[in-house]
Amino acid sequence: MATKDSFDAFLSIIRDKIGEFSEHADQSHIQVFQDELRAKFDDLAKSQGYVSGEEYEALKILAARLEERIARLEELTKM
């Protein structure tokens, strides 16, 4: 899906949720709205190749560990 199409779809979801929100403005509905919006946005961001900050940090740690292992293997193969 193209970026513009994804963005338009996300805006459509937001418009629908705002409509629902204006009809039911109690606190429990606000939390449900926030949770659904966060989940939809996360899905959209991931579909565009983005990751959360936590996932990014975990990937950085894994990359550093792999680089260390590769460096050790390269040293071992030089012997």
Structure tokens at 25: 């403005």
Q: Alpha-carbon dihedral of residues 57, 60, 65, 67, nearest 10 degrees? A: -170
What are the strands, taking DSSP E only, across the chain? none
**Which of left, alpha, beta for 52 (phi over 0: left; psi -120 to 50: alpha)?**
beta
Instruction: Tell whether the model's pLDDT for residue 3 goes beyond 70.
Output: no
Q: Alpha-carbon dihedral of residues 46, 50, 52, 58, nearest 10 degrees? A: 110
Convert the pLDDT of each residue in 12-36 to its tens digit: 777 777 777 666 666 666 677 777 8
Convert the pLDDT of each residue in 32-61 to its tens digit: 777 787 788 778 777 778 777 888 899 999
Tokens 């338009």 identify what position? 8
* pLDDT score of 4: 64
pTM of the predicted protein model: 0.46
